[in-house]
A = this chain, B = another copy of it.
Amino acid sequence: MDIEKVNSMDFGEFVDVFGNVIERCPLIAAAVWSQRPFSDLEDLKKHFFAFIDALPQSGQEGILRCHPDLAGSELRRGTLTAESQREQSAAGLTSLGADERLRLAELNAQYRARFGFPFVLAARFSDRAAVSRELARRLLCPSAQELRTALGEVKKIGSLRLADLLRADPAKL
């Protein structure tokens, strides 16, 4: 898909295509549509990120709370979004042994209790061993720093999803 195609979309099409760039926050794609036309992928990305950065802290925490746990109950129940399912699968989280799953569940619960939002990580850059390690490490970080780190991961995930969507037809880039 090229940027002219993106710029020609009405808001219904735009939200259908970009609604999950930020996990379960179609509101953000729907807001970004107001900023069209976009000059390229970087410009589109910039508008998604600017919207996130301009939210009050409660809104930024809200974005994080719309994310599923890694290797959590939604993966087991099959209710993940298609994008999350692919990303968790790429990190090997769909084939954990019982012990590893339990260990991650305990760490996820501690993290949620400590920070008031779930542990978010761009899983595609990771693997199963690194996920636990990183979760254990970030559990010890100060809250303000951890909010920044987690939003950075939201942006990495969004960048990868946007790049996937715009590169769907590589001949056009």
Contact = CB atoms under 8 A, between A and B. Distances in A.
A11 B117 contact: yes
A26 interface: yes
Q: How many copies does the complex hold?
A: 2
Interface residues of A, number: 31
Contacts of A27: 24-25, 27-28, 59, 62-63, 66
Interface string A16-27: 000000001111
Contacts of A32: 58, 62
A138 B61 CA distance: 36
A12 to B, nearest CB: 8
Contacts of A62: 27-34
Contacts of A11: 65, 112, 116-117
A47 to B, nearest CB: 9
Given A10-B112, A26-B66, A54-B56, A61 B117 contact: no
Interface of A: 10-12, 15, 24-35, 51, 54-59, 61-63, 65-66, 112, 116-117
